[in-house]
Each structure stands twice: as C-alpha cells, then as structure tokens.
Chains A and B, each alone.
Chain A
Amino acid sequence: MFSVKNLVKKYPTGQMALKGCSVDIDKAQIVSIFGPSGAGKSTFIRCINRLVEPTSGEVYLDDVEITSLKGRELHKARRQMGMIFQEYNLIERLTVMENVLSGRLGYVSFLQAMFRRFPKESIDEAFYLLERVGLAGYHNQRADALSGGQRQRVGIIRALIQHPKILLVDEPTSGLDPKTAMIIMQLIKDLAKEKDIPAIVNIHDVALGQRYADRIIGLTEGKIVFDGPPAEVSEETLTMIYGEEDWSKTIRKVEDEEE
C-alpha cells in the first residue's frame, strides 16, 4: 500500500535531517510519528510528497515510485496524497468554499480553476464535507475570518476532497487549545477510517498521539528508534525518543482518560 525505503535527506546546509528511514504501511491505520523538535518529522512527511526533495531513498504509493517522478506525473502523484498542515496554510483571502475546492486543483484545467468552474460533484461533495465537520453555512466566509479549529477543519476537507490514498499530517493540533486539539484528532481519525486510508501524523504531544494512533514511530535525530503499537510505548521508549525525563505522569494521564 505505502512504503518508504531508506529515505535520506541532507539539506544544503549540511544538516542530515533523515539518515535512512524505512516504513511500511499495509493497512488503513493512524501512524503517529513522535520525536523532539528538529528530529526530522516534518522533513520526513515533506519528502513523501516532494515538497522537499529527498537526497536518496524510495517512496512507493501503490507500486508507483514517487521520488523519481517529474512534472505532470509528480502532480498526479501529489493529488493522491492529502496534506494537513500545522499552520493550516489556508489561502487566507479566499472563501472557505474556494479553499476546499482548491483540493481539486490537480483534477481541473487552468481555466476551470481561474473561473471557479468546478464540477458539480466536487461542489456537492464540498457541501457534504463542510456539514460533516460542522461547518455548514460557512462556505462563503473568508478563511481569515475563521478560528484556528475551524481553519483546521477546512484544511482537513481540502485534503480529503483530493480523494487521497494517504493523509500526511504535520502537527495538526499544535496551535490549538487541548479541547479543540482532541476534536481535530478525532475528526482526522474518523475520516481516515471512513475513507479507509492510512494517515501519518506528526505530533509532539505524546498523550494525544498515543490516544489516537494505531501505531507509533519514534524518530530521533533522523533515525527511527521505535516502531510499534501504542501499548508498547513505555517510559524507556519515550526516554529513547526524547531523552531523560519523568514520563510516568504523561503515560498515566492517557490511561486515566481511557477509563
């Protein structure tokens, strides 16, 4: 389904952000990537859809090797990967509807895009998804008039309306309050299950990541140091990923909430 082989990224500055990472995802699961700031989480996700050019390694999405694609082929591959951003990255001056429909840009012509002539199915789907995430009636609002949580919902729909085969999610909740963060994570999880696609979610909040993930990957200094189910994440694991710290509280907090 999805496979990353020996991904390496060396930035022009000389920084080795990824030192050979391999990940296989063979079912629709939520994969949380844990790791301290600067571990290479964003770089990993961006190398997959080539917003950042990997130095070496391979990425397969349904047998298509992505790192070697060029031009039109690359655009086609990108529209099969929905990305959700930390800073939402909505087009601030456009309306909610235009932002949602921008997820279809890989499918429509330049003139259709310019004159906002999107196919009826896309518009219907946009209305459906807006209602699904609780934004019914917001379609003509400008994106810059929305709150953080509302923006991220729009960001989620923009990714989903691409009909992606995988979701790439980079710290979706770090600008949000704890309550909204949980709602957003739940929404991503529910929608990914609904569409039956995997999601790779970078997250720095250990408790939140553990709670919503089916699988945890620990990334430290560009290397994968852990890969397993959330239940297997122990204090030792966290120490290995993040370094020495009192993790007992963090872990227990998750268990408390589960009861």
Chain B
Amino acid sequence: MSTSSLSTVWKRDHFIKNPWIRWTIIIAGTAYIIFALNDIHFDMQRMREGWPRAVDFFHRMVPPDFSRWPMIQKGVLESLQMAVIATTVSIILAIPLSLGAARNISIKWVYLLSRAFVVIARSFPPIIVAIIFVKAFGFGPFPGILTLAFTALGFMGKLLGEAIENIDPGQVEAVRATGANWFKVQLYGVAPQVMPRYVGLSIYLLDINLRASTIIGIVGAGGIGGALFNAFHRYEYDTAFAILLVIIVIVLGMEFISSKVRGRLQ
C-alpha cells in the first residue's frame, strides 16, 4: 500500500465531483443572478423615491381604525367558518384520497387517478383556484370553501399518502393474517401507524386554511379578504391596518393552538 492511504489529511468529497461541471455551475449561477438583478431594474433611484411614499403609507395606517368593527367582525367570522368547513370536509375526504394515493394500499388505476388529482390540486395556487371558482359559482363564501378544500385535498393527499406509503408492512400483514377484511385492515394495520401524522396535518391544515381564507376574499371568494381589499381601494389605510391586525392575531392564535396540540402528539 502506498503511503498516501495512511495520510491523516482528509477532505470531504464535493457534492459535484467533476471540477469542470462544478465551476461551470457556480459561474453560470452567479452570472444569472447579476443579470437578473439588472433586468428587474433594481436601482437605487427607485428605492430613494419609493421610501418616503412607504413611510407616508405607514403613517396613514396608524392609529388603526376599528370603527368599522361590525364589518370586520362579519368578515372574520366568515373567514373562520370557511376555514373550519373546508378543513372538516377535506380531512374527511383526505382519508379515501390518501389511501388511493398510497402505492402499497391502492390498486393501479385508483392510484393513478388519485395521484393525478393530487398533482392537479397542488399545481394551482389558491388565488388562481379562487378566481376560477368565483367565475363558476359567483361571489361569496361558497367558492371560497371549494377553493380551500380543493387545495387542502392536494396537500393532504400528497403528505398523508406518503405517510401511508412509509408504514411498517409487517403490522399490516399481521392484521391481514387474523382474517380481517380490507376495511378492518385499514383500521388496525394502517390507521394507528399514521394517526399522529393525520392529526398533525389536520391541525396544520386548519392553520393554512385560516391564512388562505383571509386572502382569497380579494378575488371575491368571501371572508375578511374582501373587506381588506375594499379598505385599500378606498384609501382607508387605518381600517385596512385594523383588519390586518385582526388577521395577525387570528393567525398567531392558530399558530399557538396548533403547536400546543402537535406538542401533545408526542
């Protein structure tokens, strides 16, 4: 053996071993960022002009104006309702969907169908889905709920489906061996293994839906977002700020609750 194999100098392999490829990627990447910054006219002149306007904008937002409280309250409650209904519907529908989207449980054509739905549901941002549903069903919370449930199903179908794919097959096999039928196998062999994940994702989903429900109102899909949009439109920045504060409080509250619940799930 040569002495080099006894050398005490050790270097970790580069992620990309070939130095030519590595340096090409680094140089090209840097060049692209410089080019891109130029292209979007990120210049100091515009920063200087914009800054006072932003400051003025913030001045007009304080103090927040809660005098339109009944309207704010109505919007908030509607958002909350939308989020709760959409979450409930989607966590129930997520069970068959994610079983369908799990390769180890599903059969071929159900799997492909479920996966196709998940891919489609995940590829549209909520705001785009909301625009489509508002066009189809008119203004109000109904298209909003559909929007939230649709995107939520994409989210749950993917993450819960993957959780199901990663379960221990031995436990499923043991339940099958007792003579349990397909449904009872899901109940005893699969459900206990993914239950903490399911509950965690459901709470997280409520969290996501609550945030989204405050935004999709901007395109007319109900909730507090519409009120926020109107306030900006009428230059009532103090009212807008009041609404923003309420949204922040709700989101933080939800964050708190969801971390508490998830903490309890070991």
Contacts and interface: CB of A to CB of B under 8 A. Distances in A.
Given A79-B179, A90-B174, A91-B174, A105 B184 contact: yes
Instruction: Name, among B170, B178, B187, the residue most crowded by chain A CB atoms within 10 Å (CB to CB).
Output: B178
Contacts of A87: 170
Contacts of A231: none
A43 interface: no
Given A51-B173, A51-B177, A78-B177, A93 B184 contact: no
Interface string A23-67: 000000000000000000000000001010000000000000000
A79 B171 contact: no
Instruction: Name, among A80, A91, A93, the residue most crowded by chain B CB atoms within 10 Å (CB to CB).
Output: A91
Contacts of A76: 179
Nearest to A71: B181
A20 interface: no
Contacts of B196: 93
Interface in A73-105: 75-81, 83, 85, 87, 89-94, 98, 102-105
Given A91-B192, A93-B192, A105-B188, A158 B178 contact: yes
Interface in B117-131: none
B174 A113 contact: no
B146 to A, nearest CB: 30
Given A75-B180, A110-B183, A105 B170 contact: no
Given A110-B183, A113-B187, A113-B188, A92 B171 contact: yes
Contacts of A155: 174
A89 B188 CA distance: 12
Contacts of A150: none
A72 interface: yes
Interface in B127-173: 168, 170-171, 173
Nearest to A78: B179
Interface residues of B, number: 21
Given A75-B179, A78-B177, A78-B179, A89 B184 contact: no
A230 interface: no
Contacts of B188: 91, 94, 98, 102, 105, 113
Contacts of B178: 78-79, 102-106, 158, 162
Interface in A146-201: 155, 158, 162
B262 interface: no
Contacts of A92: 168, 171, 192-193
B189 interface: yes
Nearest to B174: A89
Nearest to B169: A89
A103 B184 CA distance: 12
Contacts of A85: 170, 173-174
Given A102-B188, A105-B188, A110-B187, A89 B173 contact: yes
Contacts of A158: 174, 178
B110 interface: no
Given A75-B181, A110-B187, A113-B188, A105 B175 contact: yes
B242 to A, nearest CB: 46
Contacts of A72: 181
Contacts of A103: 178
B195 interface: yes
A78 B176 CA distance: 8
A127 to B, nearest CB: 19
A148 B173 CA distance: 19
Interface in A106-163: 106-107, 110, 113-114, 155, 158, 162
Interface in B182-211: 183-184, 187-189, 192-193, 195-196
13 contacts: A51-B173, A76-B179, A77-B179, A78-B178, A85-B170, A87-B170, A89-B173, A91-B175, A93-B192, A110-B181, A113-B187, A114-B187, A158-B178
Given A51-B173, A89-B173, A113-B180, 15 more contacts: A78-B177, A78-B179, A80-B179, A81-B177, A87-B170, A89-B168, A91-B188, A91-B193, A92-B171, A94-B192, A102-B174, A105-B175, A105-B180, A106-B180, A107-B179
Interface of A: 49, 51, 72, 75-81, 83, 85, 87, 89-94, 98, 102-107, 110, 113-114, 155, 158, 162
Interface of B: 168, 170-171, 173-181, 183-184, 187-189, 192-193, 195-196
Nearest 10 interchain pairs by C-beta = A106-B179, A79-B179, A105-B180, A89-B174, A78-B179, A89-B170, A83-B177, A93-B192, A75-B179, A105-B178
